[in-house]
A and B are shown apart, each in its own frame.
Chain A
Amino acid sequence: MRRGSTGLTLVSGLAMLFLYGPILVLVLYSFNAAHLSMAWRGTTLKWYAALWHDEALLAATANSLFIAAISTIGATVLGGLMALGMERMPLRRQQLIEGGLVLPLIIPEVMLGVALMLLFVMLKMPLGLTTVILGHIVFNIPLVTIMIRTRLRKLDPALREAAADLGADSWQVFRHVTLPLLRPAIWGAVLVAFTVSLDDFLVTFFTAGPGATTLPLKVYSMIKSGVTPEINALSALLLLISMACVALSLHLQRREV
Chain B
Amino acid sequence: MATSSTPPFTASEQSLSSTPPTIDIRGIVRRHGAVTAVDRVSCQVRRGEFFSILGPSGAGKTSVLRMLAGFEDPDEGDLLIDGQSMLGVPPNRRPVNLVFQSYALFPHLTVFENVAFGLKMRRVSAALIAEQVRQALTMVKLLGKEARMPAQLSGGEQQRVALARALVNKPAVVLLDEPLAALDQQLRQAMQVELKSIQEQAGLTCVCVTHHQEEAMMMSDRIAVMHQGRLWQVGSPREVYERPCNLFVSRFLGVSNELAGTIGPSVGEDRLFQPTQAEQHPFTVRTVSTEQAGRSATLSLRPEHIRMAQERPSTSDPLLYGRIEKVLFTGSETKYLVRVGRDRLWETRMTSNTSLSSFAAGDPVFLHWSLADARLFFE
Which residues of chain A have a CB within 8 Å of any CB of chain B?
156, 158-159, 161-169, 172, 176-177, 180-181, 256-257
Contact = CB atoms under 8 A, between A and B. Distances in A.
Contacts of A168: 92, 117, 121
A68 to B, nearest CB: 29
B97 A161 contact: no
Given A166-B117, A166-B118, A167-B121, A159 B92 contact: no
Given A162-B98, A166-B169, A172-B121, A177 B106 contact: yes
A163 B104 CA distance: 9
B247 interface: no
B124 to A, nearest CB: 10
A177 B120 CA distance: 13
Contacts of B70: 164-165
Interface of B: 69-71, 90-93, 96-98, 100, 102, 104-108, 117-118, 121-122, 151, 165, 169
Contacts of B106: 159, 162-163, 177
Contacts of B107: 159, 181, 256-257
A226 B307 CA distance: 103
Given A166-B117, A166-B118, A180 B98 contact: no
Given A168-B92, A257-B107, A257-B108, A163 B117 contact: yes
A165 B69 contact: yes
Given A161-B71, A181-B107, A167 B122 contact: yes
B117 A159 contact: no
A159 B169 CA distance: 18
Given A172-B121, A176-B117, A164 B92 contact: yes
Contacts of A177: 106
B170 to A, nearest CB: 12
A180 B109 CA distance: 10
Nearest to B69: A165
Contacts of A161: 69, 71, 91, 98, 100, 104
A156 B92 contact: no
Contacts of B108: 180-181, 257
Contact of B92 (A167, A176, A180, A257): A167
Given A176-B117, A181-B108, A164 B91 contact: yes
Nearest to A169: B92
A254 to B, nearest CB: 15
Contacts of A180: 108
Contacts of A256: 107, 151
A99 B93 CA distance: 39
Which of A159, A166, A172, A257 gathers the greatest number of chain B CB atoms within 10 Å?
A: A166
A162 B96 CA distance: 11
A134 B121 CA distance: 40
B37 to A, nearest CB: 18
Contacts of A167: 92-93, 118, 121-122, 169
Nearest to B122: A167
A165 B97 contact: yes
Nearest to A180: B108
A100 B76 CA distance: 40
B98 A165 contact: yes
A221 B96 CA distance: 68
29 contacts: A156-B104, A158-B100, A158-B102, A159-B107, A161-B71, A161-B100, A161-B104, A162-B98, A162-B100, A164-B91, A165-B69, A165-B70, A165-B91, A165-B92, A165-B96, A166-B92, A166-B97, A166-B121, A166-B165, A167-B93, A167-B169, A168-B92, A168-B117, A168-B121, A169-B90, A176-B117, A177-B106, A256-B151, A257-B108
Contacts of A159: 104, 106-107
Nearest to B118: A166
